[in-house]
């Protein structure tokens, strides 16, 4: 039977690309507006809590002060709220809910006649009463207050005492270390009010429904929180959507199998060989990009070392030669550095590689481009330095009222002070301007889908999404503020970063002479359709349990599972692309030209990107995205497992590939070390794989079992964290970490830093053009 080629013929014509793109874009934007509307309209209130006598027990102002304390001391880098945050400490909402239920249970037990024995029947009756009270919503919208029983008042008092013990008593079973990190009892009291509010949101029934604002998350059978029917039903619908979506996409992708490797290679420039690199002379702006890579690799090193300190805190190994590093660098600071610096060094690589390829695209450099690049680097340097110091000084109480602006904002992934966030905005704006100036003369009217266009589009979208991070204020409802945080973090990581990754990989493949530009444009277009189609609405899976209505749960169940589809397609493309060097080297031999491919190390890291895109982002993401799985898994090590495998595996490998790609052109030939690059690749990726298989994944499964057997609060308690199985798996991370650092990170850092002494001199563009013409003539003659 003759294969159907209608779709293939349709998609090959760029004039037809607008319709699919606009359909997906409009659907995604409408969906996001719907989620935003529900976020504001259906957000849980921040009320006053009043007892049976009409006396105010907790005020709205006290809850908001507690929220501010939570952020000022960066407690999201120790524990979590609604499951979002760090895993060294408890989830404060789950912990407060469980402590509240147990306190109420004790209150009613003590209220019974002490004469006679306690029967099992009485205990069961007390438990049912406690669960009923916890679920009952007595919120009065007219005066913004909640009426609570004396049992709940007693629970509030007990909760205050619990958190006073946590921060002030070093021998307490849930003690925060170092003791006295928060020493003001009034601040701790406000903090406990904030945590009580979080537990109320997680347990009280949403008006008109039979489940809480968070769909009965976290799982705590004692407090009456169990999975809802909609959680299971929408999981089934999401799985069905994945199977159907994957089947449809693979059916049409199968038509591309009719395109051979020759199609992708046809019209490609000559493969990059040693001779070509030896003759290449960098421009002033290209040479100027080296400092981005130089700083990036230093930040990479510091980021990993900060992660090592964080893991040391997990296992209690913080004393060196009688000096307790925990006293100077609490885990809230080391983890903040670990998270924030990862975004900084990756960003530096992406900015640097985008600047590096501009002269290769445009064959010219606009006047003033070098000045703008140096200006951007200067702003970046100030931002990184200021943020690094501020992240330390803010939580340590050294900045007072200026902590939010110059220190730590208190949000995971958005740790940098608000002033430095404006610096980052300026950096991204300048990045977009420089790139646009660099490709301006390559943009053609009526050709909106070219690779330079895609590069500009992705950078502008990254810039615009950063604006979402400026919406929330300290007094903004936590649930609403967290929506805007995810609008930055998720949209970057799971939508536009993925598109940018595809573009940069495509550019490097084109410039290495492995594929032609038109083939890459088509791949980028299809990837953009799929990433934006699934990624924009896929943000919903971050809001399953963050006090959103069931509509958000439904969207997330379908679109977040579909996010695996483009990752599978990229994996299929990788199998094709990994053959290209061999195919083209054979053709080079046939034409009696040099067939020695000069970038095998760079190409390895690109293949690594594809592997981790499928394995880390795809497989590990899929197993935790279905609502029923996420209900029990959310905020466990399975999330950490997915995060590390995806962030380092995909964006880390891409960033290293970018560094090495640029260095291959910038370095004198004798300074290049092929063996070191290959060893670094295998060490970094095998080390990451060992960390995943020996610690993160099995620890996540172990923690998941604890959630299902005992409740989420227990799986996040110090009793669980300090248990022998969990500690043993955490220690096993040393194996993968040692391979990662000793064989990969340390040699790679040394190689990049040493490269500063072996850079080629810069040449003006006009001289380079004339020189390249001479080289090409020479090659043709040979």
pLDDT at 592: 44
Q: Is 597 helix (H, G, I), strand (E, B) or coil?
A: strand
Mean local confidence (pLDDT), 467-496: 90
Residues 707/715, Cβ–Cβ less than 8 Å: yes
Going by pLDDT thresholds of 50, 70 and 90, the confidence category of residue 577 is low
pLDDT at 5: 64
Name which residue leads in pLDDT, 324 or 381: 381
The string of pLDDT tens digits covering residues 739-770 is 999 999 999 999 999 999 999 999 876 554 54
Q: Is 214 helix (H, G, I), strand (E, B) or coil?
A: coil
Residue 415: inside a domain: no
518 pLDDT exceeds 90? Answer: no
Helices (H), 470-626: 478-491, 497-511, 517-538, 550-562, 564-577, 580-590, 600-612, 620-625
Name the token pair of 317: 């190994």
Residue 489: inside a domain: no
Going by pLDDT thresholds of 50, 70 and 90, the confidence category of residue 276 is confident
Alpha-carbon span 336 to 351, nearest angstrom: 22
Going by pLDDT thresholds of 50, 70 and 90, the confidence category of residue 273 is confident
Residue 757: inside a domain: no
The string of pLDDT tens digits covering residues 382-404 is 999 999 999 999 999 999 999 99
pLDDT at 425: 97
- The number of domains in the chain is 1
CATH code, domain with 141: 1.10.760
Mean local confidence (pLDDT), 5-12: 68
Residue 637: inside a domain: no
Q: Cα 561 from chain centroid?
A: 17
pLDDT at 257: 56
The string of pLDDT tens digits covering residues 613-626 is 889 988 999 999 99
Alpha-carbon span 682 to 740, nearest angstrom: 9
Residue 701: inside a domain: no
Going by pLDDT thresholds of 50, 70 and 90, the confidence category of residue 586 is low
The string of pLDDT tens digits covering residues 213-266 is 999 999 999 999 999 999 999 999 999 999 998 888 788 777 665 555 555 555
Residue 183 class from Cβ within 10 Å (0-12 exposed, 13-18 middle, 19+ buried)?
exposed
Mean local confidence (pLDDT), 290-294: 98
Give the lowest-confidence range in 46-60, 501-515, 619-633: 501-515
pLDDT at 264: 57
Mean local confidence (pLDDT), 280-305: 97
Residue 55: inside a domain: yes
Alpha-carbon span 420 to 655, nearest angstrom: 23
pLDDT at 444: 84
pLDDT at 775: 39
697 pLDDT exceeds 60? Answer: yes
Residue 119: inside a domain: yes
pLDDT at 4: 58
134 pLDDT exceeds 70? Answer: yes
- Tell me the residue range of the domain where 79 lies: 48-226
Residue 648 gets which letter from DSSP? I
Strand 48-50 vs strand 56-58: parallel, antiparallel, or unpaired? antiparallel
pLDDT at 119: 66
The string of pLDDT tens digits covering residues 334-370 is 999 999 999 999 999 999 999 999 998 888 889 999 9
Q: Measuring CA to CA, which residue among 190, 191, 182 is closest to residue 330?
A: 182
Q: What is the mean pLDDT of the chain?
A: 89
C-alpha atoms less than 13 angstroms from C-alpha of 178 in its C-beta half-sphere:
16
Mean local confidence (pLDDT), 68-93: 98
The secondary element (H helix, E strand) that includes residue 356 is helix 331-362
Name which residue leads in pLDDT, 468 or 15: 468
Alpha-carbon span 479 to 545, nearest angstrom: 10
Query: Buried b vs exposed e over 257-266: b needs ≥16 C-beta within 10 Å?
Result: eeeebeebbe
Mean local confidence (pLDDT), 648-667: 95
584 pLDDT exceeds 60? Answer: no
Alpha-carbon span 275 to 736, nearest angstrom: 38
Q: Return the CA Rg of the chain.
A: 28
Residue 81: inside a domain: yes
Q: Measuring CA to CA, which residue among 482, 438, 477 is closest to residue 456?
A: 438
pLDDT at 770: 46
pLDDT at 773: 46
320 pLDDT exceeds 80? Answer: no
Give the lowest-confidence range in 84-93, 108-117, 457-466: 108-117
Name which residue leads in pLDDT, 582 or 136: 136
Alpha-carbon span 627 to 625, nearest angstrom: 6
pLDDT at 183: 96
Mean local confidence (pLDDT), 772-778: 43
776 pLDDT exceeds 70? Answer: no
Name which residue leads in pLDDT, 601 or 199: 199
Alpha-carbon span 462 to 455, nearest angstrom: 11
Angle between helices 185-203 and 92-111 (to 10 degrees): 90
pLDDT at 216: 98
Cβ-proximal residues to 197 (8 Å cutoff; 6+ apart), any chain: 46, 58, 63, 66
Mean local confidence (pLDDT), 28-45: 95
Residues 413/419, Cβ–Cβ less than 8 Å: no
């Amino acid at each position: 039977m003759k294969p159907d080629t209608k779709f293939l013929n349709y998609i090959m014509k760029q004039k037809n690309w607008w319709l699919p793109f606009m359909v997906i874009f409009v659907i995604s934007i409408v969906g996001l507006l719907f989620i935003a509307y529900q976020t504001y309209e259906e957000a849980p209130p921040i009320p006053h809590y009043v007892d049976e006598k009409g006396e105010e027990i907790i005020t709205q102002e006290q809850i908001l002060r507690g929220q501010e304390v939570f952020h000022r001391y960066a407690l999201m880098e120790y524990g979590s709220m609604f499951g979002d945050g760090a895993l060294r400490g408890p989830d404060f909402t789950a912990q407060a809910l469980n402590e509240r239920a147990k306190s109420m249970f004790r209150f009613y037990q003590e209220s019974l006649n002490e004469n006679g024995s306690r029967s099992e029947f009485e205990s069961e009756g007390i438990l049912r009463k406690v669960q009923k009270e916890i679920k009952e919503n007595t919120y009065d919208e007219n005066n913004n207050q909640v009426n609570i029983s004396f049992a709940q008042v007693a629970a509030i008092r007990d909760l205050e005492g619990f958190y006073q013990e946590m921060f002030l008593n070093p021998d307490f079973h849930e003690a925060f270390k170092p003791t006295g990190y928060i020493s003001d009892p009034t601040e701790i009291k406000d903090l406990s009010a904030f945590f009580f509010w979080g537990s109320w949101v997680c347990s009280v029934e949403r008006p008109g429904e039979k489940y809480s604002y968070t769909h009965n998350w976290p799982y705590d059978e004692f407090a009456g929180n169990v999975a809802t029917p909609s959680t299971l039903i929408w999981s089934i619908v999401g799985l069905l959507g994945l199977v159907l979506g994957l089947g449809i996409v693979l059916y049409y992708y199968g038509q591309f199998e009719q395109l051979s490797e020759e199609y992708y290679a046809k019209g490609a420039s000559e493969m990059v060989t040693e001779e070509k690199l030896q003759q290449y002379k960098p421009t002033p702006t290209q040479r100027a990009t080296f400092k981005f890579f130089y700083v990036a690799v230093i930040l990479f090193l510091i980021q990993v070392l900060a992660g090592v300190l964080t893991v040391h805190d997990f296992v209690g190994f913080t004393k060196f030669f009688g000096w307790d590093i925990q006293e100077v660098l609490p885990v809230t600071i080391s983890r903040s550095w670990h998270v924030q610096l990862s975004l900084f060094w990756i960003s530096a690589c992406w900015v640097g590689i985008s600047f590096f390829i501009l002269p290769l695209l445009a064959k010219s450099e606009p006047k003033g481009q070098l000045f703008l690049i140096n200006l951007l680097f200067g702003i970046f340097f100030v931002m990184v330095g200021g943020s690094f110091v501020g992240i330390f000084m803010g939580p340590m109480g050294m900045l007072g009222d200026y902590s939010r602006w110059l220190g730590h904002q208190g949000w995971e992934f958005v740790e940098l002070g608000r002033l430095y966030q404006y610096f980052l905005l300026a950096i991204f704006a300048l990045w977009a301007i420089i790139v646009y100036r660099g490709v301006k003369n390559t943009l053609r009217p009526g050709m909106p889908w070219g690779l330079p266009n895609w590069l500009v589009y992705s950078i502008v979208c990254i810039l615009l999404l950063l604006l979402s991070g400026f919406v929330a204020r300290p007094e903004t409802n936590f649930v609403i503020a967290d929506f805007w945080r995810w609008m930055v973090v998720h949209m970057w990581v799971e939508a536009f970063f993925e598109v940018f990754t595809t573009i940069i990989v495509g550019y490097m493949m084109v410039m290495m002479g492995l594929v032609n530009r038109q083939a890459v444009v088509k791949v980028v277009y299809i990837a953009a359709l799929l990433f934006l189609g699934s990624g924009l609405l896929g943000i919903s899976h971050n809001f399953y349990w963050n006090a959103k209505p069931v509509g958000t749960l439904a969207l997330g169940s379908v679109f977040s599972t579909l996010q695996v589809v483009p990752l599978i397609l990229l994996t299929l493309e990788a199998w094709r692309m990994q053959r290209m060097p061999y195919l083209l080297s054979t053709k080079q031999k046939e034409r009696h030209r040099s067939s020695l491919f000069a970038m095998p190390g760079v190409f390895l890291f690109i293949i690594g990107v594809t592997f981790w895109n499928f394995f880390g982002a795809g497989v590990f993401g899929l197993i935790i995205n279905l609502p029923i799985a996420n209900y029990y898994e959310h905020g466990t090590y399975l999330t950490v497992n997915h995060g590390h495998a995806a962030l380092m595996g995909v964006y880390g490998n891409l960033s290293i590939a970018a560094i090495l790609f640029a260095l291959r052109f910038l370095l004198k030939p004798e300074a290049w070390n092929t063996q070191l690059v290959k060893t670094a690749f295998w060490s970094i990726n095998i080390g990451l794989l060992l960390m995943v298989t020996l610690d993160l994944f099995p620890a996540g499964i172990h923690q998941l079992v604890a959630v299902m057997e005992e409740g989420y609060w227990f799986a996040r308690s110090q009793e669980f964290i300090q248990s022998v199985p969990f500690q043993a798996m955490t220690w096993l991370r040393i194996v993968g970490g040692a391979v990662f650092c000793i064989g990969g990170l340390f040699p790679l850092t040394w190689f990049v830093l040493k490269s500063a002494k072996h850079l080629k001199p810069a040449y003006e563009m006009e001289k380079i053009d004339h020189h390249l013409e001479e080289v090409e003539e020479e090659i043709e003659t040979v």
